[in-house]
């Protein structure tokens, strides 16, 4: 055979060999890819809580829970009587896989059916504590002015409470202590006198408006001020004091004290008293609990501060804004010699109270009443007012115009 015929034949065999080699490599690569795909996380069709869906093969029930794809939720953490403390703070949901109970580590494959159900509620754990109990109270006399004669001694009890809610489950008395003796006194000393009192100030605009009405009529009143408000508006508080009004303690931040801890009661009573003394330079003689909520522990703390506890005898509920004439009529219908009238210069819109005050004062004067401070009503000597307070400027023209309206 000649070189001309052998050359093309050799080249053809070489090309065929290259094609065979290329095909072998591609087949091997395809096989490896197929093996990888079959072994890897491929999508599979499953049923989760009645819904057909796709998941990656090997997905666990825990993974579906984290993805919020399960209908079943954890149970709640509850108190001993079944009230919820922490929603979904109880046992995790239960699951079945293809009808069999399964763990959250169980993985899903094609065609699997997973059903989840709400977990059980769990009762919160408890802790046992020994606490100081408030002495019981015994009373002598009647009337709205109260003072502690004997402080009594606290008792002790072992209580079991919820570790999360703090709710008491049981109590065992260790010692009862001795009762607190509280004297109640009538406000009336025989004169045609009434004490107007105002709570929850000092407040922007309305305190000055109330003060303007009182000054215009030439009457005195007692303002029960919140310590934090005195700190925010010292000049308003000083104007009240400079006008000859009496300042009482209405706590530091208007917390309800009837069920408060001894620590909270102490900080609220002391905080209000100390703020008034620091800002105004006077000692508060009277304490009125926010909302009239009190316990014997409150009265013991008031006694420690050398203040007098006082509530009221006439409440027109002016804070509810029932109308100017309704407020005035409620006062005038129920007032008696020695009455202590509760109204508000702070805590919200007090325009109705300001307008009603003019009617109240006119009505009381028409019946022969004088309006005095609580200390005057109780015939207590006036407390000294720092000289610097007397030199305070009058309210601005804008405030006087607002009061006139």
Catalytic center residues: 199, 344
| DSSP letter assigned to residue 345 | S
Q: Cβ distance 206 to 347 under 8 Å?
A: no
Helix (H) / strand (E) element for 194: namely strand 193-201
Q: Cβ distance 309 to 283 under 8 Å?
A: no
Distance CA 343, CA 198 (A): 5
For residue 259, the Cα-to-chain-centroid distance in whole angstroms is 14
Distance CA 27, CA 330 (A): 100
Residue 66's nearest CA partner among 105, 19, 13, 12 is 105
SS3 221: coil
Helix H, strand E, coil C: the string for 84-106 is EEECCCCCCCEEEECCEEECCCC
The sign one gets for the Cα dihedral 51, 53, 58, 59 is: negative
Q: Cβ distance 50 to 34 under 8 Å?
A: no
Task: Tokens 């009594």: give the residue.
Answer: 152
Distance CA 148, CA 311 (A): 14
Residue 197's nearest CA partner among 277, 284, 288 is 288
Beta bridge partners of 86: 77
Task: Tokens 């407020």: give the residue.
Answer: 327
Per DSSP, the chain holds a count of helices (H) and strands (E) of 12, 21
Beta bridge partners of 203: none
Residue 247's nearest CA partner among 188, 202, 186, 194 is 202
């Amino acid at each position: 055979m000649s070189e001309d015929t052998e050359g093309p034949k050799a080249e053809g065999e070489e090309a065929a060999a290259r094609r065979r080699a290329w095909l072998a490599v591609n087949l091997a690569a395809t096989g490896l890819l197929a093996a990888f795909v079959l072994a890897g996380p491929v999508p599979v069709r499953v049923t989760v809580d009645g819904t057909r869906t796709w998941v990656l093969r090997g997905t666990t029930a825990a993974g579906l829970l984290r993805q919020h794809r399960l209908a079943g939720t954890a149970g709640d953490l509850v108190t001993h009587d079944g009230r919820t403390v922490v929603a979904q703070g109880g046992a995790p949901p239960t699951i079945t896989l293809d009808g069999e109970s399964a763990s959250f580590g169980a993985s899903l494959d094609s065609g699997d059916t997973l059903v989840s159900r709400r977990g059980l509620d769990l009762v919160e754990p408890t802790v046992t504590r020994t606490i100081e109990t408030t002495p019981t109270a015994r009373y002598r006399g009647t009337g709205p002015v109260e003072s502690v004669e004997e402080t009594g001694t606290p008792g002790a009890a072992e209580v079991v409470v919820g570790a999360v809610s703090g709710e008491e489950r049981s109590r065992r008395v260790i010692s009862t202590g001795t009762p607190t003796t509280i004297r109640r006194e009538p406000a009336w000393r025989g004169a045609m006198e009434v004490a107007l009192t105002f709570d929850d100030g000092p407040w922007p605009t309305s305190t000055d408006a109330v003060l303007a009405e009182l000054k215009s009529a030439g009457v005195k009143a007692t303002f029960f001020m919140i310590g934090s408000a005195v700190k925010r508006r010292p000049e308003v508080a000083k104007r009240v004091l400079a006008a000859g009004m009496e300042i009482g303690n209405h706590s530091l931040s208007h917390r309800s004290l009837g069920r408060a801890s001894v620590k909270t009661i102490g900080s609220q009573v002391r905080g209000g008293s100390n703020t008034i003394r620091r800002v105004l330079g006077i000692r508060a003689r009277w304490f009125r609990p926010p909302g009239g909520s009190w316990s014997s522990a409150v009265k013991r703390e008031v006694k420690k501060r050398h203040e007098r506890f006082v509530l009221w005898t006439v409440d027109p509920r002016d804070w509810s804004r029932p109308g100017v004439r309704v407020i005035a009529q409620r006062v005038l219908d129920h007032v008696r010699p020695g009455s202590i009238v509760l109204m508000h210069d702070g805590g919200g819109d007090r325009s109705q109270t300001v307008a009603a005050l003019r009617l109240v004062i006119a009505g009381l004067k028409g019946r022969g009443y004088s309006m005095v401070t609580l200390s005057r009503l109780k015939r207590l000597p006036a407390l000294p007012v720092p000289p610097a307070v007397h030199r305070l400027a009058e309210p601005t023209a804008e405030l006087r115009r607002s009061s006139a309206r």
